[in-house]
């Protein structure tokens, strides 16, 4: 308006006239995406997620971080670091999860969700095809199902932004030394989505309870209300 010489006024005065004239901004399309709840399993070890991401230490030599995550508890079951992105590395991780977790759990079948990357074919497909006790069904995110593999992608982001990016990691060896500490912290840190339990606790069978702290929260709320009403400020009670 000032550039066009339509008016001479400060911003605060402009907004006063906007309010007096009851001018409204034209409603624009909301840019925030509608986030739908992703795929969820009803019990531990029914659905696994596998993915690989790239992390670059200070020496600029790329390192590949492989992760296998459990859906129900969100626990990281297995991980590996390598200087290359290969299917046999992912297969070894999945095989280890099968031997350590799936087989002892005596479940009939399990699903493995991955993206369409080359590291999820070859040796991975061969192992999954012949796996027994339990049988593993390999599903490709956004291809075989409409869901994305966002749960394990979120874990990669969490590890990077909460742990790795805050550390001076000079090279591959330093990354190999530090990542186990980050994974241990992640698996044993209380998660809000798990109602305050840790992924390890949920994986080991501890049940979440959304009402666990209801009584304490209600008592605290009533105490805050009473304390606020007892305060006097400018002759008004809040």
Cis amide leading into 201 (omega within 30): no
pLDDT of 120 above 60:
yes
Question: What residue segments make up the domains of the chain, in order of their start?
Answer: 47-187
Q: Residue 177 to residues 64, 82, 112, 200: CA-CA distances in angstroms?
A: 14, 13, 28, 21
What separation in angstroms does the CA of 21 have from each of 13, 15, 26, 201?
12, 10, 15, 59
Mean pLDDT over residues 185-213, rounded?
A: 87
9 pLDDT more than 90: no
DSSP string, 15-37: HHHHHHTT--PPPPPP-S--PPP
User: Which DSSP helix (H) or strand (E) runs through 89?
Assistant: helix 87-97
Check pLDDT > 70 for residue 234: no
pLDDT grade, residue 238 (50/70/90)? very low
Pick the CATH number of 47-187 from 3.30.830.10, 3.30.420.10, 3.40.50.261, 3.90.980.10: 3.30.420.10
| For residue 208, pLDDT beyond 50 | yes
Task: Please tell me the predicted confidence (pLDDT) of residue 230.
Answer: 83
Strands 236-237 and 76-82: unpaired
* pLDDT surpassing 80 at residue 42: yes
Retrieve residue 199's tokens: 């992924």
- pLDDT of 41 reads 92
pTM for the full predicted model: 0.77
Average pLDDT in the 77-88 region? 96
**Phi and psi based region of residue 180 (left: phi greater than 0; alpha: psi -120 to 50; beta: remaining):** alpha
Q: Could you tell me which of 151, 178, 150 has the C-alpha nearest to residue 165?
A: 178
Res. 235: pLDDT tops 60: no
Q: Residue 89: is its pLDDT beyond 90?
A: yes
d(CA 138, CA 126): 11
Rounded mean pLDDT of 104-120?
94
Please report the pLDDT score of residue 212 as a whole number: 67
List of E strands, 15-153: 47-55, 63-70, 76-82, 109-114, 135-140
CB atoms inside a 10 Å sphere around CB 179: 20
Percent of the chain's residues with pLDDT above 90: 64
Please list, in sequence order, all residues whose beta carbon lies within 8 angstroms of the beta carbon of residue 195, skipping any fewer than 6 positions away: 208, 209, 210, 212
């Amino acid at each position: 308006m000032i550039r066009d010489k339509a008016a001479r006024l400060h911003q605060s005065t402009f907004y006063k006239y906007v309010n007096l004239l009851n001018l409204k901004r034209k409603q624009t399309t909301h840019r925030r995406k509608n986030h739908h709840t992703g795929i969820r399993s009803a019990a531990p070890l029914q659905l696994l997620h596998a993915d690989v991401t790239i992390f670059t230490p200070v020496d600029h030599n790329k390192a590949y971080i492989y992760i296998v995550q459990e859906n129900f508890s969100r626990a990281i079951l297995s991980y590996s670091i390598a200087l290359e992105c290969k299917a046999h590395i992912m297969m070894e991780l999945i095989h280890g999860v099968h031997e350590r977790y799936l087989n002892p759990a005596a479940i009939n079948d399990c699903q493995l969700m991955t993206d369409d990357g080359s590291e999820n074919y070859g040796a991975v497909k061969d192992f999954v095809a012949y796996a027994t006790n339990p049988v593993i069904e390999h599903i490709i995110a956004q291809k075989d199902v409409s869901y994305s593999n966002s749960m394990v992608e979120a874990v990669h982001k969490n590890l990077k932004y909460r742990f790795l990016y805050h550390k001076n990691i000079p090279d591959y060896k330093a990354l190999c030394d530090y990542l186990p500490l980050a994974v241990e912290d992640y698996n044993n840190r209380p998660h809000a989505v798990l109602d305050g339990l840790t992924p390890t606790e949920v994986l080991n069978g501890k049940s979440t309870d959304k009402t666990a702290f209801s009584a304490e929260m209600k008592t605290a709320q009533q105490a805050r209300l009473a304390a606020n009403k007892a305060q006097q400020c400018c002759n008004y009670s809040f």
